[in-house]
Amino acid sequence: MDMKWHANAHVQHSAKEEADQFWWGKHIDLKINKSINANIKLRKLQFII
């Protein structure tokens, strides 16, 4: 659980840094959420494999 939380926190941090470089808010938020969800799904798949 700790590792998963750390990985997700890291993904969110990177995504936030990317968003801070742009000024068009909601589109970026949607992109970040999709990116985080995709990363979580990938990680879950890796755990299953």
CB 15 within 8 A of CB 32: yes
Output the pLDDT for position 31.
82
CB 19 within 8 A of CB 28: yes
Output the pLDDT for position 49.
60
Average pLDDT per 10 consecutive residues for the chain, totaling 49 residues: 62 68 66 87 78
Output the pLDDT for position 40.
86
